[in-house]
Amino acid sequence: MAMRYLTSKLAQQIDEELMDSVGKFSIDQLMELAGLACAQTLATVYEKDKYSRVLVCCGPGNQGGDGLVAARHLGLFGYKPTIWMPKPGSKEIYQRLKVQCDNMRIQTLEPTSDLGPLKKALSASDVILDAVFGFSFKPPVRAPFDEALPLLSQSGLPIVSVDVPSGWNVDEGRVDARALEPDVLVSLTAPKEGVRAYKGRHFLGGRFVPKSMEEKYQLNLPIYPGISQIVELPRAEDSQKL
Amino acid sequence: MAMRYLTSKLAQQIDEELMDSVGKFSIDQLMELAGLACAQTLATVYEKDKYSRVLVCCGPGNQGGDGLVAARHLGLFGYKPTIWMPKPGSKEIYQRLKVQCDNMRIQTLEPTSDLGPLKKALSASDVILDAVFGFSFKPPVRAPFDEALPLLSQSGLPIVSVDVPSGWNVDEGRVDARALEPDVLVSLTAPKEGVRAYKGRHFLGGRFVPKSMEEKYQLNLPIYPGISQIVELPRAEDSQKL
């Protein structure tokens, strides 16, 4: 049975069910495991000695929260992350996650629409963690991200995208020229329809889906190795050969 | 600089500071990472093929919560955990964690003071995860644990204890004959004074201590390898040779 790719609608439904009276997870739990998986993916592909300076780009929603958690774990792994989060969401959890990063002595750029600080940070980074937009992204790309995404691409730095590369249509894929083309993608819970044809290295994280839900939605998730929080998926080219 | 062993008082203080206005962690976050570390420790020492049936023994406090999280991750790793939690704490989080285990189809024995079900479960288990008492334990061992701990010991099953082996005095060590003698110990955050002389395999988990707090309390934590959530400590015998 092939792994299921989720429409944006089904991804939303599963996310809600994980946290409602059925799933009973708190957002703190899910975000912690998701962010840990993102940090582990980046650290698996980009070794600390060569790629210590990670620019963690965070959007205004829950994916930005995943980014903050990932930044903290990267700090704990010995990387030197910097956070760019120009439009911090208003939820109380983002403020807590931000303080947790402060306590790890992780620098956060001042939230501003001016892209100067971002440009400067890009020139002093080795790799980008793209936690800008996730499965609830609806076009168009709004300011300041409309101008920021091209800057990330033009930097030439390797990019690790979380869940859905920023700017991609969750159901249809890369239909906007400003959308990122990441080297690595870490899907969370289950991959989304729009990334079926994604050609880079592709990992899955979010090893928290209960059996009851995996069966109900026939997710056919791959088997994670041992105690790992991530599993690498076959590349799109490879699967097409099968 | 040698790693710091915490008194029960200091352990309490650090735990509170992690979650107060300074640390800003939620208990959900800390318990998730602690429980994951416990599951990973057990799975590192006791392979799934030979030791699939894990009896997770949970006390009434936060350590019991760590046990519930560990049981869920063990289920996700492919083990077959069974939970024994005779005195479930009243905090809402324990109820949520229990439902999360239900959704993984993990069996929980009916909460009862009758030790019959525990005996039966022991005879159908390969290894014990001891999450009964932690760093806030104050003697004496109360019912039904006073009679249960000797049953765990008499089972002859390997035991993995969380933070402080159950029945041990947190500051003074193993001074009660009913206290467990685990094969493996996973200390959380930092090891406690009472386990200085512990002779079995000893791991550290809880890779969440912020730099600010590690420095403030001069914890001198060991370096965790790579992206791992646990690190094995030198055995007590080895350190004495130094």
CATH of the domain at A191: 3.40.50.10260
Region B148-171: what's the mean pLDDT?
98
Distances from the Cα of A212 to the Cα of A34, B53, B102, B232, angstroms: 20, 20, 9, 34
Q: Give the model's pLDDT for residue B2.
A: 93
Which one-letter DSSP state was computed for residue A110? Answer: P
Put simply, whether the predicted model's pTM sits higher than 0.90 gets the answer: yes
Mean pLDDT score of chain A, rounded to an integer?
A: 96
3-class SS of residue A39: helix
Residue B196 belongs to a domain = yes
A226/B24 CB distance under 8 A: no
Region B76-104: what's the mean pLDDT?
97
Residue B201 belongs to a domain = yes
Q: Give the model's pLDDT for residue A242.
A: 42
Flag whether pLDDT at B210 surpasses 90. yes
Residue B3 belongs to a domain = no
Lookup result for tokens 């990019």:
A159
Q: Give the model's pLDDT for residue B242.
A: 42
Tokens linked to B238: 């080895």
φ, ψ (nearest 5 deg) of residue A182: -70, 155
> What distance in Å separates residue A178's CA from the closest CA in chain B?
33
Residue A2 belongs to a domain = no
Enclosing domain of residue B139:
8-241
Measured between beta carbons, which residues in chain A are less than 8 angstroms from residue B213?
Answer: 103
Q: Give the model's pLDDT for residue B238.
A: 58
Q: Give the model's pLDDT for residue A237.
A: 64
Give the span between the Cα atoms of A186 and A183, in whole angstroms. 10
Residue A116 belongs to a domain = yes
Q: Give the model's pLDDT for residue B147.
A: 97
Q: Is B52 on the interface with A (CB under 8 A)?
A: no
Helices B145-154 and B116-123, axial angle in degrees (round to 10): 20
Q: Which residues of B129-147 are buried (b: 16+ CB within 10 A; e: fewer)?
A: bbbbbbbbbeeebeebbee
Measured between beta carbons, which residues in chain A are less than 8 angstroms from residue B33?
Answer: 32, 36
Number of domains observed in the structure of chain A: 1
Q: Give the model's pLDDT for residue B241.
A: 45
pLDDT class of A199 with cuts at 50, 70, 90: very high
Give the span between the Cα atoms of B84 and B58, in whole angstroms. 6
Q: Give the model's pLDDT for residue B239.
A: 53
Q: Give the model's pLDDT for residue B5.
A: 98
Residue B143 belongs to a domain = yes
Mean pLDDT score of chain B, rounded to an integer?
A: 96
Largest distance between two CA atoms of chain B: 49
**B235 exposed, middle or buried (CB, 10 Å; 0-12, 13-18, 19+)?**
middle
Residue A1 belongs to a domain = no
Measured between beta carbons, which residues in chain B are less than 8 angstroms from residue A100?
Answer: 23-25, 210
Flag whether pLDDT at A1 surpasses 90. no
pLDDT class of A222 with cuts at 50, 70, 90: very high
A100/B23 CB distance under 8 A: yes
φ, ψ (nearest 5 deg) of residue B92: -60, -30
A32, A103, A212: residue with CB nearest B33 = A32
A40/B227 CB distance under 8 A: yes
Nearest residue to A163 (alpha-carbon basis) of A180, A149, A148, A151 = A180
Residue A114 belongs to a domain = yes
> What distance in Å separates residue B23's CA from the closest CA in chain A?
6
